[in-house]
Structures are given as C-alpha cells and as structure tokens.
Amino acid sequence: MSFFSNSPKPNDIENWVCVLESNTDIEVEMAKNYLSNLKIPSNILSKRDRAYSLNVGEMAMVYLYVPVEFEKKARKALSDLEESSRDLNSGFSEEE
C-alpha cells in the first residue's frame, strides 16, 4: 500500500479517515493542535510539492487524518471550532 497517489483526493489509509482538506499548511496545523488539546490523535498528510511555492491545485493539498474511532468526535470538534470562529468574525464590523 502506498501512502501517496497522484490524485488530489485523500488517500484511503487503513483505520484512518480524512476529516479536513486544505491547501494551506497553517489551517491544517491549527486544526491538528486543536484536536490535540481535546486528546484526539491526528496526523497530517501533505501532498504539497515544496519544489514549487504552490498553494492551489492538486500539488498543494494537505490532509488531516484521525483514527476511525475518533472520526465523529473530531468532525464535531472541527465543526464547533468553525462555527465559533464565524461567530467571532461576525462580531466585528468595518465601522469599529
């Protein structure tokens, strides 16, 4: 089994599931740290080609994986994080 394929889709890795896809390392790193604080194990698989400074397209995808048994908890945590981030951002207006 190879961990890398030429596809922009997340790889199938036995007993692990992809819970986040992004083309920015920082977003995936922050999500990984957030899950770590909640005691949810995770690993990053980056398909970014570092020879080129690309952050769009197939050669720039970064994926966050969690063990299958943590999938629901991880998805809920990431959803809650996104929602709270949206709520924080909506509290700021251009007039302030």
Task: Tell me the domains of the chain and their CATH numbers.
Answer: 16-90 (3.30.70)
User: According to DSSP H, which parts of 1-96 are helical?
Assistant: 25-37, 71-90
How many other CB atoms are there within 10 angstroms of residue 48's CB atom? 16
Which two three-digit tokens encode residue 42? 């995770």
Select from 63, 28, 66 the least CA-distant residue to 47.
63
Provide the residue-wise pLDDT of the chain in tens; the chain has 96 residues.
Answer: 445 555 567 778 899 999 999 888 889 999 999 999 999 999 999 877 665 665 555 667 889 999 999 999 999 999 998 888 777 777 655 554
pTM of the model: 0.76
SS3 75: helix
Phi (first) and psi of residue 73, to 5 degrees: -65, -40
Res 39: pLDDT: 97
